[in-house]
Structure 1
Amino acid sequence: MNLPGRSANRVIAVVDLEKSSMIQTLPTAEMVESIGGAAVNTLLLEKYSQQVPLVLGTGPLTGGFAPASCLMAASFCSSDRGICHVPVVINSGPMLKLSGIDFVVFTGQAPRPCVVVISKDNIHIETADDLAGMSIPATVKRLKSRGIKEVALVTGPDVHSSSRHHSASTSVFGGFDRCGLAGYMASKNIRAIVLNGGGEIDFNDKDLETSRVLNGQVHKQLPRSRPMTVLGKITGSNPARKLVKKYFNHSHACFHCPVGCINFLKFSGMQTRTEQVDTRGIFILDHQGFAALSKTRPKDAHILMEKALAMGLDPLALAGEMDERTGFEQALAQMENKAEPGIEKKATSQLPPGISIEAYHRFGGALPQIIPPNTKKSFSTWEEQVAFAMIVGVCPIPQLLFPAMSSSAFMPFITRDQDQVKLFYRCLEKSIEKVLRCIPGQDDRECFNNKRVVI
């Protein structure tokens, strides 16, 4: 069966980190019918389960003209939560697809810390020895000096395989990893995954006009105060809103996104634990983490957020170790002495009705806790909408915010043939069900061998 999808390279790269080798393979019929993103990643995790893989995947909309078509899913099997799919945004998905590859499977462990460089039809491994001890901003600066275009995933200087209070970051933006991706990368000795692109992505001539119309509908639904697009929907975020109003400089948008929900805060006096940073501002991509930190430290959460981003720390975990008097170093030491983030149980118990703990952690554990508008559109629940986005390759946040961003609104970017639309929806329903029914709480090797997991 051939599903519609003009922008698919239909190439899977399998990288053996131990041998620094790569082979390319084609997707199976089952993978094609699973569409892409998190659904195909799940099948690849199953196929290579004995090699404890890390999988990166794009969807059919990734890199096209559909709004917010920036997404790449980073998937792995957590030792205690089962399968996790972390949304990776900014420009990561399009840059992977521009490399001529739709999916990358990392197996084994590199013999020493490394940087994985993905370029046009090629993946090679470089040493990360010169990055030892560097903060994330310093690491990104060093990688950019090598000619790297996009730093898709990077970890902080102190992350280790059992780290649960660290987060993998996209360049200096932070990210949506609160499920152990940073520690999983460390277990494979991956310090960073970088993308150079170099290819092209096909699109239909009508996509530009379709995109213009849909973007216009979204713009009509944007709040008057653009910096509050996401924060305004998060319960208990008043302290964070005050800091954003005080220090807001500009908004930043991911690839082809009409929303621009990333706030850049500009201020002075920032300093990491080990070095002075040469920027004077931070990007707030993890709105949920910043809201939690601001609630604990309403006066200096922006300073603490800068330190957390520089060190690759989970701001939610940091908030769990602080009160109004706790110093950063003290909180850091307390986190290091704990196997689990102190705030985790509290945070998940406060999830809004309609978001399950299992689904929230399955998709990284850091997306904004926003209940989508009550509409009659397909895939209307929080977990269905996020699963849809993670499969087709768009950021889930605009979908959760705006009724205009329904699944049907994206169909013209995939196909305009009504028979093909029906076929696509049938496959999509199966793929969403497949992604959502993976059961957390199993050992890596048992994720697929255990009869409880049905794929």
Structure 2
Amino acid sequence: MDVFLKSFYNNRVAHVDLNTSRVEFMPVPPGMLSEAIGGAGVTRLLHEHFAGQDPIVLGCGPLTGSFAPASCLMVATFSPDTKTLIHVPFLVNSGPQLKFSGFDFLVITGQSPEPVMLEVMNDAVKISGAGMLEGEISRRERTLMSRGRFCPEAILLTGEAARNGVGSAVLSLGQWGSLDKEGLGSYAEKKNIRAITLLASGGIAFPGENLEQGSILMKELRARYKKRQYVVQDFMAGGQAHRKLIRKHFRKSHACFHCPLACISYLEFTSRNGGKKRTGGVFLMDHEGFAALAALRPLDACTLMHACIEQGLDPLRAASLIGAEAPTEDALKTIREGLPGSRSTGTGPAPGSDVVPDEVFMAFGTGIPRIRPQAPDASWQSRVGLAMILGICPILLLTYPDLSPDHLLSFISPDAGFRDDLHQRIRSALNSIAP
């Protein structure tokens, strides 16, 4: 491993074999970090390393959990059909929780004979029965867990949609929902995984100068937009319906770990259940999914988005199932029952399809907004790929043109020559991730 990268990793991989219920710990295989740097670059190589065992690989980048802006990212890499490799981004605080639990990468292979929950904390991984998530009490227990009651800081959950055989079932980050639109939830369900919990119990001794670097850069980024609430919607094609509903139902906003852009809105809404009014709320991390529902069904989009998160169903899939005319109760019934079948990315070409080729969009989970990068001469693929390798939220890189690759790489090394070499290796790794 390059000397500069040592300060950004535990250099530990946890391998969970569900066939044997064994957990093994090992260093990152030699050369992987030097070759592919981290994030999706290394999860791809680990997926190849465990080829033939149907792996799911969770991983961090070097800047995950660091003082760099929006250092929240964790990547989940899997192959739904043995031909396609998908890299799903997980945001909020998932990446730091994995890295600070003592592991940079978690590899899950095999299939458990019984439903299980994987608990990652204190430099250990525990395989537990998922009885608390089964049977009549499962909905209540799952709801409490997703809201952060008696549970770790980050939890990945499969839902009823996965158990109903829906191909577009997602692996949700609890109440936040998911940017998974390629069936990772369905894939985890086949392994009998009900939940993966992540609890930070330590930390990383990042370089001391990173603290001041991060403080200065965060101040500059916060000054770019006077009103940061609608930045994502303003740049999204077809984002106006989305924006109107956020303005109407907005209660508060939330930022991911160490991020200057609080782009996750919390909306409060009123719905009817059996003739009775019910007040609910929903977090909007999935901008693409909510935009599809908002354009199709503006009157009940919040209610349906909440139901999708609760069931673990991709909102784009839901939009294709329910259409525009069905009454709300019928639409909710369809979401709760789902329709078994292959994974789907919605009803057809999405607004902004000209921003990025479909095959590249799919390689990154189909959930990152199709925002045309604001940086000059930058492509969606180059900005998202850089983020997915370094461990930074890709939405930040798409919306902040002043945030250059050198800004981020300077956290890793003060040596300009090394940064140039590092950037070249990142470009090479990106070509392997999304050719």
Structure-1 separation of matches of 2:247 and 2:72 = 27
Q: 8 Å contact 1:148–1:195 — kept in the other structure?
A: no
> Which residue of structure 2 aligns with residue 203 of structure 1?
206
> Which residue of structure 1 aligns with residue 8 of structure 2?
7
Offset from partner CA, 1:345-396 (integer Å, 9 cap, x none): 5135x443230101101101111110101415xxx21111111111110110
Structure-2 separation of matches of 1:135 and 1:81 = 35
Of residues 180-189 and 14-23 in structure 1, the stretch that sits farther from structure 2 once superposed is 14-23
Matched AA of 1:406: S
How do residues 42-441 of structure 1 correspond to structure 2 at under 5 angstroms? 42-79=44-81, 82-132=84-134, 138-142=141-145, 147-160=150-163, 163-222=166-225, 224=227, 226-269=228-271, 280-321=280-321, 322-326=323-327, 327-329=330-332, 331-332=334-335, 335-336=338-339, 338-341=341-344, 344=346, 346-348=348-350, 350-376=351-377, 380-437=378-435
Structure-2 separation of matches of 1:370 and 1:243 = 19
Q: Which consecutive unaligned segments of at least 5 residues does structure 2 have? A: none
Q: Using a 3 Å threshold, how does the CA distance of structure 1 residues 145 and 152 change in structure 2: closer, same or farther?
A: closer
Query: What is the Cα deviation at residue 246 of structure 1?
Result: 1.1
Query: What is the Cα deviation at residue 318 of structure 1?
Result: 1.0
Q: Using a 3 Å threshold, how does the CA distance of structure 1 residues 144 and 125 change in structure 2: closer, same or farther?
A: farther
> Which residue of structure 1 aligns with residue 28 of structure 2?
27
Q: Using a 3 Å threshold, how does the CA distance of structure 1 residues 414 and 161 change in structure 2: closer, same or farther?
A: farther
Partner SS state of residue 165, structure 1: coil
Q: Using a 3 Å threshold, how does the CA distance of structure 1 residues 36 and 150 change in structure 2: closer, same or farther?
A: same
Q: Using a 3 Å threshold, how does the CA distance of structure 1 residues 311 and 334 change in structure 2: closer, same or farther?
A: closer
Q: Using a 3 Å threshold, how does the CA distance of structure 1 residues 81 and 248 change in structure 2: closer, same or farther?
A: farther
Partner SS state of residue 211, structure 2: helix
Q: 8 Å contact 1:165–1:335 — kept in the other structure?
A: no
Off by >3 Å, runs of 4+ in structure 1: 133-138, 142-147, 268-272, 329-335, 337-341
Of residues 410-419 and 386-395 in structure 1, the stretch that sits farther from structure 2 once superposed is 410-419
Partner SS state of residue 331, structure 1: helix
Matched AA of 1:68: A
Percent identity among equivalent residues?
A: 35
Number of aligned residue pairs: 427
Question: When the two structures are superposed, what TM-score results if normalisation uses the length of structure 1?
Answer: 0.88
Query: What is the Cα deviation at residue 239 of structure 1?
Result: 2.2
Q: Using a 3 Å threshold, how does the CA distance of structure 1 residues 107 and 143 change in structure 2: closer, same or farther?
A: same
Q: Using a 3 Å threshold, how does the CA distance of structure 1 residues 3 and 353 change in structure 2: closer, same or farther?
A: farther
Structure-1 separation of matches of 2:102 and 2:63 = 15
Matched AA of 1:402: Y
Query: What is the Cα deviation at residue 216 of structure 1?
Result: 2.1
Offset from partner CA, 1:148-201 (integer Å, 9 cap, x none): 322331111241495323221111000100011001110111111101111121
Matched AA of 1:418: A
Is 1:18 the counterpart of 2:32? The answer is no
Query: What is the Cα deviation at residue 25 of structure 1?
Result: 1.2
Matched AA of 1:130: M
Q: Using a 3 Å threshold, how does the CA distance of structure 1 residues 190 and 290 change in structure 2: closer, same or farther?
A: same
Question: When the two structures are superposed, what TM-score results if normalisation uses the length of structure 2?
Answer: 0.92
Structure-2 separation of matches of 1:44 and 1:328 = 41
- After superposition, the CA RMSD in angstroms is 2.4
Q: Using a 3 Å threshold, how does the CA distance of structure 1 residues 416 and 340 change in structure 2: closer, same or farther?
A: closer
Matched AA of 2:211: L
Q: Which consecutive unaligned segments of at least 5 residues does structure 1 have? A: 438-455
Structure-2 separation of matches of 1:136 and 1:419 = 54
Query: What is the Cα deviation at residue 68 of structure 1?
Result: 0.4
Matched AA of 1:393: G
Structure-2 separation of matches of 1:162 and 1:200 = 39
